[in-house]
Structure 1
Amino acid sequence: MSTAVEQMDGRYVRDVLGNFPTSVVVVTSLDPADRPVGMVVGSFTSVSLDPPLVSFLADRTSTTLPKIVEAGRFNANALAADQEALCRRMALRGANRFEGVDWKQSDLGNPILEGTVAWIDCIIEKVFELGDHDMVVGRIRELRVASAKTPLLFFRGGYGDYFSSSQILLDSHRNW
């Protein structure tokens, strides 16, 4: 059963969209005082291969996004299935999200979180206002598969991981 646009409320839209699994990504950068900043996004996606572009969406009420935009660069860290606690830490408001978190600096100066599945280091290409969110488009400067771990996913309001029988065959042919 579908619902007409006129009958939709925000909770209903969120409940339906929760049936679309998303990877959990922590976008990181350094603020003007060279302190690490980060935010969790569930909307990270590839935009273009030529030129190599990716994007993410952030709620306009985010206090972290302006710091990332001011830095002009970011690193997208794809969290591993065993990093749910790190995800929850990075989602806290007003906390020192990086206290006790292992990370190293990328060539662009962005934090690369330890233990992730992969990371992508970017320069901000454009920022667009879309509804109640901002879309940030980044030009890829460097990227790497960091481990053979399975990714952390968000689905129907909870966290989990993904592993399929096709992954077993694929992994047997890769040289991690």
Structure 2
Amino acid sequence: MSSGQRYRDLMSAFPTGIAVVTSLDGEGAPRGMTCSSIASVTVSPPTLLVCMRTGSATLDAVTSHGAFAVNLLHEGGRHAAEVFSGPAPNRFSLVEWKQSSSGLPWLTGDAFAVTECRVSGIQRISDHALVLGEVDRISQVEGTPLLYGLRRFAAWPEPVDATVAGSRGGRP
């Protein structure tokens, strides 16, 4: 087994939330891609990091537009995750979306939270780019996050006993 395959197997064992990163290209057309490599960088100023494949139309749009949205998918967002992870033409015609007041594409039918970011830095490493985004706007409603791990989708499990979750500081 190659070291690349061993590394993919290792990372597939680490479940993560699923998001679709969206932006606008030079002609104002929406672009987007599924992304599971997202991390909080700092709270002040609020900044996050997304990892994107170099050569993708979405990374080109993010770079040229200087802004992007991170759509955190809810448990019913598997279709959107799959649409934006492959080469589907006209991806946005296959999902429910709208342009926010700033013009960025929001996946209104599949995301429980969206944050809009201004690009504050880009570092290219091999075939990916680490894109830093300073958060400008957050919109969030109740929702159960969609997760991906062990090469399959799942929803965040509900607590067995809400009282136990409440005693640990979780939601009642």
Which shows bigger deviation, 109-118 or 42-51?
109-118
Measured after TM superposition, the shift of residue 101 of structure 1 is 2.1
Structure 1 residue 83 and structure 2 residue 77: aligned?
yes
Q: Which residue pairs with 2:27 in the alignment? A: 33
Match runs of 1:1-176 below 5 Å = 9-115=3-109, 116-146=111-141, 148-165=142-159, 168=162, 169=166, 170-172=170-172
- RMSD, aligned α-carbons: 1.9
Q: TM-score, normalised by structure 1?
A: 0.86
Secondary structure of 2:57's partner? coil
Q: Which residue pairs with 1:3 in the alignment? A: none
Q: Is the 8 A contact 1:106 1:121 kept in 2?
A: no
5+ long unaligned stretches in structure 1: 1-6
Q: TM-score, normalised by structure 2?
A: 0.88
The residue type paired with residue 78 of structure 1 is L
Number of aligned positions between the proteins? 165
5+ long unaligned stretches in structure 2: none
* Identical aligned residues as a percent: 30
Secondary structure of 1:15's partner? helix
